[in-house]
Amino acid sequence: MSDRQELVKNAVKFLSDPQIQSAPLTKRISFLESKGLTNTEIEEAIAESASSSTASRPALNYSVPQSGFHGAGILTTSPPVPQRDWRDYFIMALVSGGLVYGVAALARKYIVPHLQPPSEDAFEATTSQLNAQFDEAAALLKQIQEETVAAQTAVQEQQKAVDSAVEEVKTVMEQLRKGEESSRDQMREIRSEVDNIREMLPKANDGSQQGSAVAFLGRTTSGNQVSKGFTSHQTARVAFHVKFLVKSRSTKHTVLATFRSV
């Protein structure tokens, strides 16, 4: 074995050491160059060390710096695809089955009930509840209408009673007004007759008795004479008052005092 091959072999052992592999690639290449290896020998050593490494070792990208007339070389290796056994497939099947079962359970619990149409019993129960609510609302509406009609009737009756009371009050007030006017007319008539009697008494004789007074009044009425504008009705009323006063056996002054008090 030549010295160059021995150097390459030692370089492969150097690069295959796990502790050396953790060092930067540039430092390893610089170390090999310091030992007298060329770029070709370094690339060969790196390739052999990479092929002899284990399958779990990560990929390495090597770049050899350019020196002299040699160009830069890059060596790239990819880790082998890990092998899967039946345990991996079994675990994947379990996980996939659990996920599918969970999704199906959630869909059956929360989604399917909303998608299914209601049963006939539920539909009938809902219909019965709606009919009961409609009947209750109709009964309540009818009751409200009846109460409204009753209230309107009561208001109309009260209005009629008030109108009747107002009419009665108006009638009573009219009667009172007419009665008051009639009383005033009668009082004025009586006062007028009393004033006429006061004017007639001084003209009569002081010692005349009932006969002369009656004869005087009879003569006045029989002759259809109207004294001082008296009517026959007024004359009769005056005669009645004179008879009443004469019967009291009082004098002319007593008669005058009586009429003054009236």
pLDDT in tens, 205-214: 554 545 554 4
Q: Is there a contact between 210 and 243 (Cβ–Cβ < 8 Å)? A: yes
166-196 pLDDT per residue, tens:
999 999 999 998 888 888 888 888 888 888 8
Cβ neighbours of residue 160 closer than 8 Å, sequence gap 6 or more: none
Examine the pLDDT at 129 and tell me if it is beyond 80.
Answer: yes
Domains of the chain as residue ranges with CATH: 3-76 (1.10.10.10), 190-261 (no CATH)
222-258 pLDDT per residue, tens:
444 444 444 555 555 555 555 555 454 444 445 445 5
Please give the Cα distance from 153 to 156 (Å, whole number).
5
| Helices assigned H by DSSP within 86-209 | 86-106, 112-115, 120-200
